[in-house]
A and B are shown apart, each in its own frame.
Chain A
Amino acid sequence: MSALDNRIRVYRAEHRLSQGALADIIGVSRKTISTIEVGRFVPSTVIALKIARHFGVPVEDIFSLPE
């Protein structure tokens, strides 16, 4: 079980955005995005806020603690 659930993949699909494109926008590597998506890496607050800002939603819409 991952430490932090996320819906990045859902938002990427809605925005037709590749991992690489999102990574470039946020200023991280593609590997960082892919490892966040699969729950292997818990991002820093700054990265989480940048992702949320890019999709125009509150950060808790994308990231949440597992039930």
Chain B
Amino acid sequence: MFFNKDETTAQFVDRFLRRIALAVSIMALSYGSGALSHIVGGGVRDILLVVKDPLGLLAAIIVLPMFIRMMIKVIRSGKTSGNGSSGYIAEIYGRSAGNGFAAGFIFLVFLEPFSGKALSQLPPEFFVQAAIAVLLGTLAISFFVLNRDGDDEMDDEFEDEEGAAP
């Protein structure tokens, strides 16, 4: 899985972006756990605090091997971008990032009126963690929804029949 010689650069970039989206969704859970731990109490709070850090570690483990391989590819080729970064997956990743940013911003605007009254007891850390959780969560959900819509690979009747050569 780590070393796939048949994989093209474009396929690798697609796989890398899918991995990042998965890691982003886990990071959203991690930040969400951190934010919730300021609201709930007792045993649930302890569980959330225990779960938070391993989730961050899991996200790093998911991305790190492919990130290292990506860096090796970039150093070897001397290129920082190619067609692989302008494909369909890169497009929906960019769109999802925009959705995530918008959701995070709207969330902060929505919270602002409450910050001085109802939520005044909560530490600033809560607002930062909650906003990041909403931003990353929206990015990940948006990516998976858009990617699911495009997952129906078309039947390719020319594939491998007469060979690839024209």
Closest B-chain residue to A31, C-beta based?
B88
B-side interface mostly:
loop
Chain B residue contacts of A13, Cβ below 8 A: 158
* CB pair B8 A29 closer than 8 Å: yes
* CB pair B158 A38 closer than 8 Å: no
* CB pair B166 A29 closer than 8 Å: no
The distance in angstroms between the C-alpha atoms of A19 and B9, with both chains bound, is 16
The distance in angstroms between the C-alpha atoms of A32 and B101, with both chains bound, is 25
Cβ of A63 under 8 Å from chain B: no
Chain B residue contacts of A36, Cβ below 8 A: 88
Cβ of A64 under 8 Å from chain B: no
Cβ of B65 under 8 Å from chain A: no
Chain A residue contacts of B86, Cβ below 8 A: 28, 43-44, 46-47
Count contacts between A and B, CB distance < 8 Å. 84
Cβ of A12 under 8 Å from chain B: yes
Count the B residues whose beta carbon is within 8 Å of the partner chain — how many? Answer: 27
A-side interface mostly:
helix
* CB pair B8 A24 closer than 8 Å: yes
* CB pair B159 A28 closer than 8 Å: no
Chain A residue contacts of B164, Cβ below 8 A: 17-18, 20-21, 24
Cβ of A40 under 8 Å from chain B: yes
Closest A-chain residue to B91, C-beta based?
A41
* Residue ranges of B at the interface with A (Cβ–Cβ < 8 Å): 8-11, 13-14, 82-84, 86-89, 91, 149-150, 153-154, 156, 158-164, 166
Q: Lowest 7 CB-CB distances: which A-B pairs, in order? A: A21-B164, A18-B159, A32-B87, A27-B83, A15-B166, A16-B162, A29-B10
